[in-house]
Structure 1
Amino acid sequence: MAIPEDFLHYLWKFRLFDQKSLHTISGESIQILNVGVHNSHAGPDFQSSLIKIGNTLWAGNVEIHLRSSDWERHKHQTDESYDNVILHVVGKHDQEIFRTDGSNIAVLSLDKLIPRKITDAYLHLLECMDWIPCCRQISKIDSFYIRSWLYRVEIERLEQKSESITGLLVEFKGGWDEAFYIYLASNFGFKINAIPFEMLARSLPQTLLGKYKNRPLQIESLIFGQAGFLNQKYSDDYPQLLTKEYNFLKKKHSLQSVDKYIWKYLRMRPGNFPSCRLAQFSALVIRSNHLFSKILAGKDIKSIVDMFHDLPVNSYWNDHYRFDKSTFRATPRLGEHSINNILINTVSVFLMAYGRKTGSAEHIHRSISLLEMLPPETNTLTKRFKEINIIPENAFFSQSLIQLKKAYCDEKKCLSCGIGTKLLNK
């Protein structure tokens, strides 16, 4: 397998090559005083480097390629942003390279300077077909170091997820409550019905629901009606009452419902049926209109969590999972697993986003503290990590393991992973 350019970046960044008697291709001595700052954006790979070439001390940028000819292949010879490159570091030298003014650039070839041991270790990770590349070696890394890296990974995950809220904030002109309402509704669908729930929320503005905040029947009729569940006849009194109320409100507010057929029931437990989720969502709206404002004003983490417990779900759902279909015993309450899912994927994300946007360290801390007080998620991924003795003690670290697997292990980004680089440095 060919070595990628990222590997050369890694070698340069950590100086993992023979530096005893470095020389340019033309024979001038090289002394690396500062490798520079790794640049992940457009432009040279390392900036603000400090290198002595021959008797001259140079300050500038370093560009890294697998071959010298990649300089021309990437059109750097016509790009003035590369004129401040003071050293071209390559895996193999195959041609001279020049700046836009025609001046020659010093070249360092790492071809014979890379320790075979490091190359073999990296290729082993790259070629590994196990569920994570380092699963057979991770036990060599100190658990404290792994925990420290996982902490950084989860902060990265929270920041990335909080960025996804930016579009909603722009759409609602900075309205946090409106953006939270849409985001919460989407997550109430728990992936399978996320899109129908979001469509419902967009068809039913929070401001309209606010007009009926002390009238549960009207809120339930608006939510079930806009979801498309009240466009047929029912025999039970409760759905008949909802239908009658909705028909009046629909005409009054010129509403257009979504189609009922978009809701999915396939391979779903009755407690997760859309009708049950809509009943729970209605109860949450009844209890707390403009919920995010109440979350921000919460005295502590426990008060935030309590907002989602013991929701006032209509008693009809004590023995129904669907309209007109009674059952011996139903479970209308939002379960602990579902509550934790919402707290993890909605509330903590919005607290982080709010903290970052407003510069509030308190809300960033609350985002993290909320995850730390919730139990770890139990799924196939966390079970696999437990098998190699990586055991998350709370939701913060189970979320971190999800990020580690998806963003680093699955992408084979071992050189960007603290665990991978630690193994290579060993």
Structure 2
Amino acid sequence: MAVPEDFLHYLWKFRLFDQRNLHTISGDPIEIMNVGLHNTHAGPDFQSSLIRIGNTLWAGNVEIHLRSSDWTRHKHQIDPSYDSVILHVVGKHDQEIFRTDGSMIPVLALDKLMPKKITEAYLSLVECMDWIPCGRQISNVDSFHIRSWLYRVEIERLEQKSESIRGLLTEFKGGWDNAFYVYLAANFGFKTNSMPFEMLARSLPQHLLSRYKDKPKQIESLIFGQAGFLEHKHNDEYPRSLRKEYDFLKKKHGLKSMDNYIWKHMRMRPVNFPTTRLAQFAALVIRSNHLFSKILAEQHVTSIISMFQGLPVNEYWQNHYRFDKPTKSHSPGLGEQSVSNILINTVAVFLMAYGREGGSQDHIAKSITLLENLPAETNALTKRFKDLKVRPDNAFFSQSLIQLKKTYCDEKKCLSCGIGMKLLNL
């Protein structure tokens, strides 16, 4: 298997090739003073490089290709933004290349300069068909190095997820509480009913619910009524009373209820039924309206966690999962796993976004501390990593492993991964 262009970038960036007696294809001696800054956007691959070619010290950019002819194939010869290239670094030289003014660009070929050990180590990773490329070798990397890299990976994950909030903030004109309310509602649906929950939140704005903050029955009737679960006749007194209250509030506020059929029940455990989640969501609204403002004001993450525990869910749901269908007695509140899910995917993400937007290191730190105070997730992915002796001890690191697998391992981006790079240099 031939090495990809990314591998040449890696060799150049870290000077991992034989630098003794370097010459261009035309025979001019080369001395690399500064490889430049790696550019991952449009334009030459390395910028602000400093290279002596012959007797002349050049300052400019470096472009890297597998073959010299890629310069022409990519049409750089007609692109003025590549006229600043002072050296063309290639895996194999097969064609002279030129700037837009017709001047020839010096070429350095790496095909005979690549370190055999590093090249073989890299190919062993990318050719591996195991669950992760370094599965057979990761035990050779010390745990401190792995942990340090995982820390960086989780910060990357939080930053990426926080970017998704920008659209909501724009929609709500910078209103963090309203953006959080909609985002939280969507996550209350736990993927299966995420869309209906978001639709509910958008049809039932937070300022309307806040008018009934001291009236639990009105909040419950608004939430179940808007969700479309009070449209049919009911046998139990509780849903009948909610229906009566909702009919009044619906007319008063000019509301239009959602279609009940959009909520999904199939292949779902009763604790995840939409009616159960709606009852829990109502309890959270009853306990704390404009929740994100309260989260920002809390100094201790344990207090934030407790906001989602022991919710005052109506006692009707202690022996029901659906209206009019009694069941054995059970606890209707959010389970530990559900609380963690919401804190991980909503609260921590919003704290990171808020911190980044306002430049508040305290809120960024609070986001991290929150995850560090939650138990590590247990799923097929974390179990596979445990088999490889990589054991997350809290949610911060279990989330990091998810990011590592999806962003680096699955894409075989070993050259961008701190663990992969460590293995190449062992």
TM-score (norm 2): 0.99
Give 1:135 shift. Answer: 0.5
Tell me what 1:222 maps to: 222
RMSD: 0.9
Give 1:253 shift. Answer: 1.4
302-311 vs 284-293, which moves further: 302-311
Query: Residue deviations 1:200-247, cap 9 Å, x none?
Result: 111111111111111111110111111111111101000001111111
Distance in 2 separating the partners of 1:85 and 1:70 = 14
Query: Residue deviations 1:328-374, cap 9 Å, x none?
Result: 21321111111011111100000000000001111000000001111
The answer to whether the aligner puts 1:104 opposite 2:81 as a matched pair is no
Q: Is the Cα–Cα contact under 8 Å of residues 30 and 53 in structure 1 kept in the other structure?
A: yes
Distance in 2 separating the partners of 1:170 and 1:207 = 18
Q: Secondary structure at the match of 2:51?
A: strand
Q: Secondary structure at the match of 1:415?
A: helix
Distance in 2 separating the partners of 1:374 and 1:283 = 22
Amino acid at match of 1:287: R
Give 1:2 shift. Answer: 3.2
Give 1:250 shift. Answer: 1.3
Amino acid at match of 2:349: V
Tell me what 1:54 maps to: 54
Amino acid at match of 1:104: M
Tell me what 2:118 maps to: 118
Identity of aligned residues (%): 77
The answer to whether the aligner puts 1:287 opposite 2:287 as a matched pair is yes
Q: Is the Cα–Cα contact under 8 Å of residues 321 and 330 in structure 1 kept in the other structure?
A: no
Give 1:314 shift. Answer: 0.4
Tell me what 2:167 maps to: 167
Amino acid at match of 2:102: G
Tell me what 1:147 maps to: 147
Q: Secondary structure at the match of 2:415?
A: coil
Q: Is the Cα–Cα contact under 8 Å of residues 220 and 279 in structure 1 kept in the other structure?
A: yes
Tell me what 2:201 maps to: 201
Q: Is the Cα–Cα contact under 8 Å of residues 271 and 330 in structure 1 kept in the other structure?
A: no
Q: Secondary structure at the match of 2:47?
A: strand
Distance in 2 separating the partners of 1:16 and 1:265 = 57
46-55 vs 250-259, which moves further: 250-259
Distance in 1 separating the partners of 2:317 and 2:211 = 25
Distance in 2 separating the partners of 1:155 and 1:331 = 35
Distance in 2 separating the partners of 1:335 and 1:182 = 21
Amino acid at match of 2:411: E
Tell me what 1:403 maps to: 403
Query: Residue deviations 1:361-397, cap 9 Å, x none?
Result: 1100000000111111111111111111101111110
Tell me what 1:127 maps to: 127
Amino acid at match of 1:64: I
Tell me what 1:252 maps to: 252
Give 1:291 shift. Answer: 0.3
Distance in 1 separating the partners of 2:331 and 2:199 = 26
Give 1:130 shift. Answer: 0.7
Distance in 1 separating the partners of 2:256 and 2:410 = 43
Give 1:59 shift. Answer: 0.9
Distance in 2 separating the partners of 1:398 and 1:159 = 16
The answer to whether the aligner puts 1:413 opposite 2:424 as a matched pair is no
Distance in 2 separating the partners of 1:130 and 1:229 = 48
Tell me what 2:240 maps to: 240
Q: Secondary structure at the match of 2:264?
A: coil
Tell me what 1:191 maps to: 191
Give 1:21 shift. Answer: 1.2
Q: Secondary structure at the match of 1:411?
A: coil
Amino acid at match of 1:344: I
The answer to whether the aligner puts 1:315 opposite 2:318 as a matched pair is no
Distance in 2 separating the partners of 1:70 and 1:13 = 20
Give 1:58 shift. Answer: 0.8
Give 1:298 shift. Answer: 1.0
Query: Residue deviations 1:159-195, cap 9 Å, x none?
Result: 0001110000001000000000011001111111111
Distance in 1 separating the partners of 2:307 and 2:299 = 12
Distance in 1 separating the partners of 2:265 and 2:121 = 48
Amino acid at match of 1:310: G
**1:21-32 equivalent positions in 2, closer than 5 A:** 21-32=21-32
Query: Residue deviations 1:96-119, cap 9 Å, x none?
Result: 111111111100011111122222
Distance in 2 separating the partners of 1:77 and 1:255 = 63
Tell me what 1:64 maps to: 64
Give 1:263 shift. Answer: 1.2
252-261 vs 47-56, which moves further: 252-261
89-98 vs 116-125, which moves further: 116-125
Q: Secondary structure at the match of 1:232?
A: coil
**1:300-339 equivalent positions in 2, closer than 5 A:** 300-339=300-339
Tell me what 1:11 maps to: 11
Distance in 2 separating the partners of 1:359 and 1:205 = 29
Amino acid at match of 2:223: I
The answer to whether the aligner puts 1:371 opposite 2:371 as a matched pair is yes
Q: Secondary structure at the match of 1:153?
A: helix
Q: How many pairs were matched up? A: 426
Query: Residue deviations 1:21-69, cap 9 Å, x none?
Result: 1100100001111111100111110011111111111111100001111
Q: Is the Cα–Cα contact under 8 Å of residues 351 and 366 in structure 1 kept in the other structure?
A: yes
Distance in 1 separating the partners of 2:414 and 2:245 = 59
Q: Is the Cα–Cα contact under 8 Å of residues 34 and 51 in structure 1 kept in the other structure?
A: yes
Q: Secondary structure at the match of 2:44?
A: coil
Distance in 2 separating the partners of 1:225 and 1:156 = 40
Amino acid at match of 1:211: R
Amino acid at match of 1:11: L
TM-score (norm 1): 0.99
